[in-house]
Structure 1
Amino acid sequence: MSFTGFSTEDFAVFTINGLDERMEKLKQHVRPKLEDLGSHFAPTLSSLTGDEMFAHVAKHARRTKNPPADTWVAFAANPRGYKMLPHFQIGLWETHLFIWFALIYEAPDKEAYGEKLSGNIDVISKSIPGDFVWSTDHTKPDAIRHKDLSKDELFSMFERLQTVKKAEILCGLHIPRDETIALEPSELINKIDTVFRKLLPLYKMA
């Protein structure tokens, strides 16, 4: 595998002003690494989930003015797209690397999934590692650590998924920029693999 890990330069891409300038550096530095991760993890996730998983590297094609603040590769059981489906992601903001299981606002059966999560709240509460994080908006970099959430707060996130049209749920791990840069490529691969395995029950519920 040709993945070389992430560098200071990769994260610095998000400080470049101007859509064209940032996109050029994204394509040059970050996208090839996301493609490497995509081709590495698609077979792994296919084998773990039992569904054939396809890698989708973000193209940011619809942007005309604002440069992207983050970028990613997503994995879903459809060669044409991932946004409508439960999926996994690996990506970067300027401050950190994220590894997610996600169900975002385009997904049609969020209500049923919210019910499933609510019904399994005890299991989820116990099985998700404390340093993992939850988010209800994939367009924002911040998230809440699992160990800082009460069961009631978790429950209200799951309930929101059932009642709010634009609701989303994401669970995974954030690795700070400096820690990500310090990791050897093989260490980062192993870390991502471990996170995906921990998130697998959430995918299976979906």
Structure 2
Amino acid sequence: MNFPGFTEEDFNVFKIDGLDARMDQLIKHIRPKLDYLGNYFAPTLSALTGDEMFPHVAKHARRTINPPNDTWVAFANNKRGYKMLPHFQIGLWETHLFVWFALIYEAPNKIEYGKTLEKNITNIRKSIPPHFVWSADHTKPEAMIMGDLSDEELLALFHRLQTVKKAEILCGLHIPRNEAITMDGEEIISRLNDTFQYLIPLYKMS
């Protein structure tokens, strides 16, 4: 199949009440698209990073009551998991499509990575586009726009990664749902591909 893009129906899955009902529709509508993107981008990211990358589609298997508010496919250089490793994600909240480079709370090398980011702030400022976004928590939909952040605010994010046990760092792109649903599959693939090109240096620093 060619990638069909995302629809209003996909984003509305996150409005469905109840774990079973929401998961049923998520599995039916969104997961095949995440599977497709996982298989499509794993070879691309392997070539860009120099590491063999494996796709991991979120299964939300530990949930017993609360339905998921977002879902994703992650890419890491390990077949068994991604949470402890620097990785990439493509996914959906009800409000937007996201593409991330991420180092989340389970990664053991956060202190070293935070120091590396601090040392490279000038290069990061030059290489990450101003409309890209940063987040310190992968469980929340909000993010900070690169162009709105001062060097001091960026450095505070990098410092927090070194000092707070649960700290995380994510950088990437949000595409609002209203825009995402107007894009065809080819346009989405192209935008995701462009985004990864900008994020690869952050991966290599890790």
Counterpart Cα distance in 2 of 1:86 and 1:169: 10
Tell me the CA shift for residue 70 of structure 1: 0.1
Structure 2 stretches of 5 or more lacking a match? none
Contact 2:69–2:94 at 8 Å: present in 1 too? Answer: yes
Q: What TM-score results when the alignment is normalised by the length of structure 1?
A: 0.99
1:75-119 C-alpha deviation (Å, 9 max, x unpaired): 000000000000000000000000000000000010000000000
Contact 2:96 2:176 (8 Å CA) reproduced: yes
Q: What is the rounded CA distance, in whole Å, between the counterparts of 1:38 and 1:3 in structure 2?
A: 11
- For 2:134 and 2:39, locate their aligned partners in 1 and report how far apart those are by CA, in whole Å: 26
The whole-number CA distance in structure 2 between the counterparts of 1:164 and 1:109 is: 13
Determine helix, strand or coil for the equivalent of 1:66: coil
Alignment of 1:151-170 (within 5 A): 151-170=151-170
Mapped partners of 1:9, 1:118: distance in 2: 41
> Would you say 1:129 and 2:129 are equivalent positions?
yes
- Determine whether 1:63 maps to 2:47: no
Partner of 2:150: 150
Amino acid at match of 1:69: N
Q: Secondary structure at the match of 2:3?
A: coil
Aligned pairs, how many? Answer: 206
SS in 2 for 1:182: coil
Counterpart check, 1:99 vs 2:79: no
Determine if the alignment matches structure 1 residue 30 to structure 2 residue 30: yes
SS of corresponding position for 2:181: helix
For 1:197 and 1:76, locate their aligned partners in 2 and report how far apart those are by CA, in whole Å: 16
Determine if contact 2:11/2:94 at 8 Å carries over to the other structure: yes
CA shift for structure 1 position 139: 0.1
Match of residue 120 from structure 1: 120
What per-residue deviation string (whole Å, max 9, x for no partner) do you get for residues 140-198 of structure 1? Answer: 00000000000000001000111111000000000000100100100100000000000
- Equivalent residue number for residue 75 of structure 1: 75
Q: Which amino acid aligns with 1:187?
A: E
Secondary structure of the residue that 2:88 maps to in structure 1?
strand
The residue number in structure 1 matching 2:191 is: 191
Q: CA deviation at 1:2?
A: 3.0
| CA apart distance, 1:49 | 0.2
RMSD: 0.5
Q: Give distance in 1, aligned partners of 2:151 and 2:70.
A: 30
The answer on whether the counterparts of 2:2 and 2:185 sit within 8 Å (CA) in structure 1 is no
| 1:88 match: secondary structure | strand
Q: Output the CA distance in 2 between the equivalents of 1:4 and 1:35.
A: 13
The percent of aligned pairs where both chains have the same amino acid is 68
Q: Secondary structure at the match of 1:71?
A: strand
Residue in 2 that maps onto 1:138: 138
Amino acid at match of 1:104: I
Partner Cα separation in structure 2 for residue 3 and residue 73 of structure 1: 15
Displacement of 1:127:
1.2
Matching residue's letter, 2:195: V
Shift of 1:3: 1.6
Query: Residue type of the partner of 2:60?
Result: H
TM-score (norm 2): 0.99
